[in-house]
Structure 1
């Protein structure tokens, strides 16, 4: 078949019924994509085979199919994809095929198959498949819409529909640390992120428990995705992973402002501080961005403005005393100050530091935050 032309390859595979045609097509796709220097012609052929013979999105004329895969077809396809990826031991080849199957332009359309595939890989588990999924999240952006959609589906599978399976996930950071780290980054952007939303969404308690356990017991987990260089196909540019540290700190910092007083937030906060302390200083730093570390800023300011309108404006009272008596606000600011101080102490923050501290100066009065800012000013 290697000597056949593109149309001949397609016609040969079309003679097979589904799912056999998909099983043979994925093998051919691997051969086309994993050549030392795959040509554009080979890449185009591989993409056509995916769309027509694997995912059945188009017919032989290239027209969109009106009917989608049946439940049985999906199940058979999942088995084919899993077996192929799990048996492909060459990391570069496996990643190349995975990235092509769920490229940026097709990932959302194929998200249902992708999420089920990764859910199966977590349940079995299959570390190599999860590692390719981690590379996919990183290349598309682990805070991207695609990554967040995958995270939502996995949360639904393991924390909402099957809460009894949560204890089984305790080993996930050991089995697939890079995937878990990128998964955490995606998750962190799903909750306490009320931008352009009418209300704030809180993480399910069993999800919060699992994440707290993961972070507390694995101090290096949050930077795991930055510790390993993925093997990518020729010409691909490796994308930097965004750590989940700032996103999860946002949870612990703003939780008191939303009357979320579970002790798990305090434990998660402590686990994150310990994780930061374990980061090895490098030049230039790349663990935490100032832009990401400013996530709680707007939420705290909005809370403060509403608090002023409710309790301070229109009457003559000791405003500083009133602020000091707001336990939730002060706890939020204390946690923020702690995180900033610990991160600065090991030089793992990057970005515009002057703008960062200017923004912090606009926050309500807090003794610990004042000390942190004064120390930074003296050390400049």
Structure 2
């Protein structure tokens, strides 16, 4: 494609970008049709993308070509139409990669800016092909950039424009893959270490409603990805389970530290009660864990693959220990409320560890677990988990597994059921949590005006 540069130079910025996208589509279609393995866009084509779409000068003396806000909006509409009209997913994915895979050069900032605007528009107008491509991008890209994209979407739909949250909520049904990756990214972004890094209540309520509606949602990336040992350490986790547990465990202390009630009843401008939402989220996360034994057995991975990493648990217990120390220093005198918040955080940690171990999501010895939790204060439930056998919490209602990653005649043999462990002295059962919360009413996507993809001459 390098020979078309001379024809693009005289054009205005929008016309040149439009023409290049058209030729890029044809180039990738021909490459896929030829069966070239692996299909890879050449360096000359990537240079054209940087010059005429991302507007990175080819040399220092070249004038910088910039788009007006209106031209940029028109380009985003052209790109939406381009991906919508292309029926082959392989072509779409290669085209998205050519446009937005980070190259480690000065064009990356332009890539991120354009990508964020494109994905935000795709959410608004319901362009599922772009959301599917963005889900793959989130799966393969360094987590630093993934959380930047997530931050833009949270700002656009939960902060800047009041009442726009239901539009974002619809990604649950439009693209479950993207929704799963978005949850993983926001749980990585918001680690509850400060008020700025505490999830907005509107976002929290949205995530709770998504997971309550379909517990398998947080497992979609795991269920639909080929399993390999080559997962980059810098990428997002394969599920958001670790981040969700961190939210639930740290919330009683973090929200007590950061949230200042604005009315006599402790509510904040009619916003959903954070404690109630985190309680519902904690129950949903435990129910997700209860789905895992069947799934891991079907994949032949029970006892071999840890979806919850020990490093994540160690980091959580370290953060929790620090939060508990801070709470003690700021309280000066142990109040009943402060003690209750501390015990709730420890109870949730104990419940999560117990169910994660019983479901095969956490693989570790009791000795390792005791070492990790050694700095935490005494908690009756946690003490039982650290010293007693792993048992299932059969009182958690788990919906039937409607999706199996393998067909009925799976080549993977079925595994024996996990033997029943000896009973021990019963301990405090999981607290009863509220029933499902009110959902946002379903909102249809905006139907965007068709925008011709083929450039005019």
Pairwise same-fold verdict (TM > 0.5): yes
Displacement after TM superposition at 1:213 (Å)? 0.7
Q: What are the within-5 Å matches in structure 2 for residues 45-124 of structure 1?
A: 45-59=44-58, 61=59, 65-66=63-64, 68-105=66-103, 106-124=107-125
Quote the Cα distance in structure 1 between the aligned partners of 2:220 and 2:285.
14
Question: What secondary structure is seen at the aligned counterpart in 2 of 1:56?
Answer: coil
| Higher RCO (CA-CA < 8 Å; seq separation 6+) | 2
Runs of 4+ off more than 6 Å: 38-41, 236-240, 310-313, 321-325
| Conservation of the 8 A alpha-carbon contact between 2:150 and 2:186 | yes
When residues 338 and 130 of structure 1 are mapped into structure 2, their CA distance, relative to the original with a 3 A threshold, is: same
When residues 273 and 47 of structure 1 are mapped into structure 2, their CA distance, relative to the original with a 3 A threshold, is: same
Quote the Cα distance in structure 2 between the aligned partners of 1:16 and 1:305.
63
Q: What are the within-5 Å matches in structure 2 for residues 245-260 of structure 1?
A: 245-258=241-254, 259=256
Displacement after TM superposition at 1:211 (Å)? 1.0
Displacement after TM superposition at 1:285 (Å)? 2.2
| Conservation of the 8 A alpha-carbon contact between 2:358 and 2:390 | no
Quote the Cα distance in structure 1 between the aligned partners of 2:308 and 2:145.
22
Find the counterpart in structure 2 of residue 290 from structure 1: 310
Question: What secondary structure is seen at the aligned counterpart in 2 of 1:243?
Answer: coil
Displacement after TM superposition at 1:353 (Å)? 7.5
Find the counterpart in structure 2 of residue 190 from structure 1: 189
Find the counterpart in structure 2 of residue 29 from structure 1: 24
Quote the Cα distance in structure 2 between the aligned partners of 1:240 and 1:202.
19
Displacement after TM superposition at 1:357 (Å)? 4.0
| Conservation of the 8 A alpha-carbon contact between 1:216 and 1:272 | no
Quote the Cα distance in structure 2 between the aligned partners of 1:78 and 1:353.
54
Displacement after TM superposition at 1:250 (Å)? 0.8
Note if 1:346 corresponds to 2:347.
no
Quote the Cα distance in structure 2 between the aligned partners of 1:289 and 1:169.
30
When residues 286 and 303 of structure 1 are mapped into structure 2, their CA distance, relative to the original with a 3 A threshold, is: closer
Displacement after TM superposition at 1:178 (Å)? 1.0
Gap runs ≥5 in structure 2: 260-273, 392-420, 422-457
Note if 1:20 corresponds to 2:40.
no
When residues 351 and 113 of structure 1 are mapped into structure 2, their CA distance, relative to the original with a 3 A threshold, is: farther
Q: What are the within-5 Å matches in structure 2 for residues 219-368 of structure 1?
A: 219-229=215-225, 241-258=237-254, 259=256, 262-279=275-292, 280-282=295-297, 283=301, 284-307=304-327, 326-350=339-363, 355-368=368-381
| Conservation of the 8 A alpha-carbon contact between 2:253 and 2:324 | no
| Conservation of the 8 A alpha-carbon contact between 1:52 and 1:58 | yes
Find the counterpart in structure 1 of residue 385 from structure 2: 372
Question: What secondary structure is seen at the aligned counterpart in 1 of 2:296?
Answer: coil
When residues 39 and 333 of structure 1 are mapped into structure 2, their CA distance, relative to the original with a 3 A threshold, is: closer
Displacement after TM superposition at 1:193 (Å)? 4.2
Displacement after TM superposition at 1:306 (Å)? 3.4
C-alpha offsets along residues 33-63 of structure 1, whole Å, 9 cap, x if unaligned?
A: 451338999611111110111122225x475
| Conservation of the 8 A alpha-carbon contact between 1:55 and 1:69 | no
Tell me the TM-score normalized by structure 2.
0.70
Higher helix fraction (1 or 2): 1
Note if 1:161 corresponds to 2:174.
no
When residues 158 and 322 of structure 1 are mapped into structure 2, their CA distance, relative to the original with a 3 A threshold, is: closer
| Conservation of the 8 A alpha-carbon contact between 2:242 and 2:312 | yes
C-alpha offsets along residues 164-185 of structure 1, whole Å, 9 cap, x if unaligned?
A: 1222344322221111111111
Gap runs ≥5 in structure 1: 231-235, 314-320
When residues 72 and 351 of structure 1 are mapped into structure 2, their CA distance, relative to the original with a 3 A threshold, is: farther
When residues 247 and 45 of structure 1 are mapped into structure 2, their CA distance, relative to the original with a 3 A threshold, is: same
Bigger shift: 166-175 or 301-310? 301-310
Note if 1:10 corresponds to 2:5.
yes
RMSD after superposition = 3.2
* Number of residue equivalences: 356
Displacement after TM superposition at 1:217 (Å)? 1.2
Tell me the TM-score normalized by structure 1.
0.83
Quote the Cα distance in structure 2 between the aligned partners of 1:40 and 1:96.
8
Displacement after TM superposition at 1:255 (Å)? 1.0
Displacement after TM superposition at 1:352 (Å)? 8.1
Bigger shift: 71-80 or 294-303? 294-303
